Chain A
């Protein structure tokens, strides 16, 4: 009953989407605003309908309707309520519904805004959103239906179908198969929705870009209208990536946070093009340049979002994220191809109207450095894309499947990331238009000297690896430049208005959120870089089997095996929990409890590390194996991960910076922002 309701709601949503597309186009053609309004109503109808559908799934999940195959696949009786609710996105079919629900919410929110001066965009924004929505609904209704039930037929295996096949009876399974225990982690429960939010909100800037191309209103109005959407999309995507990394570190038990897995890369690629886009739109707003380029970036980001969903959903690449291999792959591919070709055709059609209003004159001007930043971001994107599709290409060309692993990505992207850090230090001090080595040098020498002092201190501290020295120097350089920018701005305010320095810094940042939010993000990146350098270059490990009372030594740390308890826990798992004492320089500093959970129901084990985390380093202890007779001892693997906490701190700063940049302004038009920007512009803009 509820399943039929949910399915019916999906079908009606699909029909409403098709109607909306038709009505919007007809309304524009016939110049009949009533039809556009009708299309808008169709758009607004999709969200309540999809809410009904999503709630139906949640109802079935919560009340354990195991006759529905999806419910049986992702939940079981022993699962707590919150996991049953979040199982909405625990499997493929449910997460596609969740995707459309978010998409519809965002698109509806956009159509509800006041359109006043931008009314001509409205029908086309509706068309693009609804076409995207309709595509996903086709996927769900015809290929990945979460409401399908299992039916037992007199002859042969049970059949999966939406409606009762002739002569069949409903097969009610007594219990479901449950959610993979590895996914029962808070980070993993909010990680997919964050990524999805990031994915769907990138559809909005794309819809406006297409509306601008179709209507021929090719000024930068579409960019100003969608700036905040882009930032919000970027915020969620960043948050999703960070949470995924944290989850890997906490749960997967290999001492790492990022494995260059195709699915991770699939989420990373739209982030890269989106980041390039966020930077290059500033040049269009400020200088009227790079208009074609911005269109290309927004089209690319949109199709990478769809490609990302496709990659994670099709099983076309051998990924350790073992997503089901399903029929929806080719359709995704067709949709990506179609939207890409249509978008590029539109872009070519308007090519001459998007001519730059100015030219670049100086290689060291801020716009030139931004362009360079874009090249590097796209360079990393190409590396990622190449790595992901290389097995397919090599198979097509040579018949031999050749893959590339993490070493490829690390080697190829390392210098590009380094280049980006360097630019992060230089670009904020470069002036728009005309900037020479002399003007830039005058602006930069103080923070540069400061960074050299830090480098000297690190050398004295005993670090000798060239890559680490370079990395730390870059981090010091970027943070000096960024803090210097805050200092100069605050000092100027202080002199002009007599505000105290803390007040001046606060007002500076809050009156000029985009710029200073950006700087805070840069500081977050620097902190993350420090953490990444720490774990990538200085990580060390040891492993061994030791008896009770014996110890393992790693650097300054000694880990002593004290005891082990093995017991069943009420939620259906067996826990083996070791107690180890940790000594640093022979001083006792605490106990850790690495453990191994074994879930009877799913026959899945989980290795939970015992972690002692400080700002200096993490000691990460894994219980690998143990003997029932404790005299034979247990096997531990110990990682020493220096500085890794800075990665997470950097993540928090990064997100706070994005929030600052995206926070709504009190003034509807950024006039005040522009004035103050000129006031504090570096190197005499």
Chain B
């Protein structure tokens, strides 16, 4: 111990500084990784209403949209594995959902209200088990020129039945 302490005093600042420089380099590398990865994979979380308002300005951007699945609109072509359905607008904010009586109620009202902003969705792949009327769909993808949302990933939540973990059903 004494010996190593003495060595350090001799090498003094030079000994310390290489550790500080090395540490800073690594911290910088980690920050770079975080910043660049965030930029490369950020997805804008929009409600259906916001998406309709923004129109073509968000075309080509990675978007994450949440909405209530309207059961009657679900069409699945098992030949081409093409899934089409329409979602209705629900608030994006948890506290707003809570204020309106909870997720189950909000989803239900969104589906029966014909005046809600709606969005057509197309997704290619396996039809998820949880896709049904009044489920909350969280979709990642891009908006097409036809105004249809092309989902690459589809996550579903069904709050009506269970209070505990309803695990993920993701694809793509």
Residues of A within 8 A of B (CB): 73-74, 90-92, 177, 179-180, 182-183, 248, 251-254, 256, 259, 261, 263, 288, 312, 315-316, 318, 320-325, 357-361, 363, 368, 372, 375-376, 379, 382-383, 386, 390-391, 400-405, 407-409, 411-412, 415-416, 433, 543-545, 602-607, 622, 624-625, 627, 635, 637
Query: Across the interface, which residues of A come within 8 angstroms of B130, CB to CB?
Result: 604
What is the interface residue range for chain B against chain A? 35 or more
A253-B129, A359-B8 known; 8 other A-B pairs, CB under 8 Å? A92-B164, A263-B165, A320-B157, A325-B102, A359-B5, A379-B33, A403-B42, A412-B34
> Given A402-B44, A602-B161, do A252 and B168 touch, yes or no (CB 8 Å)?
yes
* Smallest CB gap from A624: residue in B: B126
Q: Which 6 A-B pairs have the closest CB atoms?
A: A401-B45, A320-B168, A412-B37, A359-B8, A379-B30, A408-B41
**Distance (whole angstroms) from the CB of B8 to the closest CB of chain A:** 4
Question: What's the Cα separation between A73 and B92 when bound, in Å?
Answer: 27
The residue that A321 contacts in the complex, of B132, B156, B167, with Cβ under 8 A, is: B167
Q: Assuming the A-B contacts A92-B164, A320-B170, are A368 and B19 also in contact, with contact meaning beta carbons closer than 8 angstroms in the complex?
A: yes
Asked whether, in the complex, the Cβ of A635 is within 8 Å of the Cβ of B78, the reply is yes
Q: Which of chain B's residues have a CB closer than 8 A to the CB of A409?
A: 37
Complex CA gap A604/B166 in Å reads 11
Q: What residues of chain A lie closer than 8 Å to B157, measured between beta carbons?
A: 320, 322
Give B62's nearest chain A residue, CB to CB.
A405
Identify whether the interface residues of A are mostly helix, strand, loop, or mixed: mixed
Which chain A residues border B162 with CB–CB below 8 Å? 73, 177, 179-180, 322, 602
Contact assessment for A361 and B103 in the assembled complex, using a CB-CB cutoff below 8 Å:
no
26 of the cross-chain contacts (CB-CB < 8 Å) are A92-B164, A183-B165, A183-B167, A253-B126, A254-B171, A256-B170, A318-B66, A318-B94, A320-B155, A320-B156, A320-B168, A324-B164, A325-B97, A358-B4, A360-B19, A361-B7, A363-B22, A379-B33, A383-B33, A386-B38, A391-B45, A404-B37, A405-B64, A411-B41, A416-B30, A543-B81
CA distance A231 to B63 in the complex (A): 42
Complex: A363 Cα to B19 Cα, angstroms = 7
Q: Which of A320, A372, A403 has the largest count of B CB atoms less than 10 A from its CB?
A: A320
B148 interfacial contact with A, CB 8 Å: no
What's the least CB distance linking B81 to chain A, in Å?
Answer: 6
In the assembled complex, B114 has its CB within 8 A of some CB on chain A: no
Interface residue? B153 (CB, 8 A): yes
**Contact at B129–A607, with CB atoms within 8 Å?**
yes
Taking a contact as CB atoms under 8 Å apart, the answer to whether B129 and A405 are in contact is no
Contacting pair B44 A322 (CB below 8 A)? no
Interchain CA distance A624-B79 in the complex, whole Å:
11
Query: Given the complex, which residues of B lie within 8 Å of A637, measured CB to CB?
Result: 125-126
Contact B8 A361 (CB under 8 A): yes
Known contacts: A92-B163, A183-B167, A543-B81. The answer to whether A625 contacts B45 by CB under 8 A is: no
Task: Tell me which residues across on chain B come within 8 A of A368, comparing CB atoms.
Answer: 19
Interface residues of B in 121-172 (CB under 8 A from A): 125-127, 129-130, 132, 138, 140, 153, 155-159, 161-171
Q: Which residues of A contact B55 (CB under 8 A)?
A: none
* Residue in chain A with minimal CB distance to B167: A182
B76 at the interface (CB under 8 A from A): yes
Given the known inter-chain contacts A403-B42, A403-B43, please indicate yes or no for A323 contacting B33, CB distance below 8 A. Answer: no
Docked pose: A603 CA to B129 CA in angstroms: 10
Which residues of B17-62 have CB atoms within 8 Å of chain A's CB atoms? 18-19, 22-23, 26-27, 29-30, 33-34, 36-38, 40-46
Q: Would A405 and B140 count as touching, CB distance under 8 A?
A: yes
Contacts of A360 in B (CB 8 A): 15, 19
**Given A404-B42, A624-B81, is A361 in contact with B4 using a C-beta cutoff of 8 Å?**
yes
Bound CA span A405–B171, Å: 13
Among residues of B, the one whose C-beta sits closest to the C-beta of A93 is B163
Judge whether B94 and A325 touch: CB under 8 Å: yes
Within the complex, what minimum Cβ distance (angstroms) separates B142 from chain A? 14
CB distance from A646 to the nearest CB of B (A): 24
- B94 adjacent to A411 (CB under 8 Å): no
Given contacts A254-B169, A316-B94, contact A635 B34 (CB under 8 A): no
Task: Report the bound CA distance from A475 to B8 in whole Å.
Answer: 36
| B43 near A361: Cβ-Cβ < 8 Å | no
From A179, A322, A411, contact of B158 by CB (8 A): A322
A324 and B29 alpha carbons, distance in the complex (Å): 38
Task: Report the minimum CB–CB distance from A368 to chain B (whole Å).
Answer: 7
For B153, give the chain A residue with the smallest CB separation: A405
User: Could you say which residues of chain B place their CB within 8 Å of the CB of A363?
Assistant: 18-19, 22
Most chain B beta-carbon neighbours within 10 Å: one of A322, A404, A602, A627: A322
- Complex contacts, A261 vs chain B, CB 8 Å: 168
Question: Which B residues lie within 8 Å of A177 (CB)?
Answer: 161-162
**Known pairs A359-B5, A372-B26, A401-B92; A411 contacts B40 (CB<8 A):** yes
Contact B164 A400 (CB under 8 A): no
Rounded to whole angstroms, the CA-CA distance of A242 and B104 in the bound complex is 32
Chain A minimum-CB-distance residue to B66: A318
Q: Is the CB of A358 within 8 A of B1?
A: yes
Measured between beta carbons, the chain B residues less than 8 angstroms from A405 are 41, 43, 64, 140, 153
Is there an interface contact between B4 and A375, defined as CB atoms closer than 8 Å?
Answer: no
Chain B residues, Cβ within 8 Å of A602: 161-162
- Closest Cβ–Cβ distance, residue B132 to chain A (whole Å): 7
Contact (Cβ within 8 A) B170 A318: no
Question: Which partner residue on chain A sits nearest B76 by CB separation?
Answer: A625
Complex Cα–Cα for A412 and B38 (A): 9
Residues of B71-117 at the interface with A, using a CB-CB cut-off of 8 Å, are 76, 78-79, 81, 92, 94, 97-98, 102-103
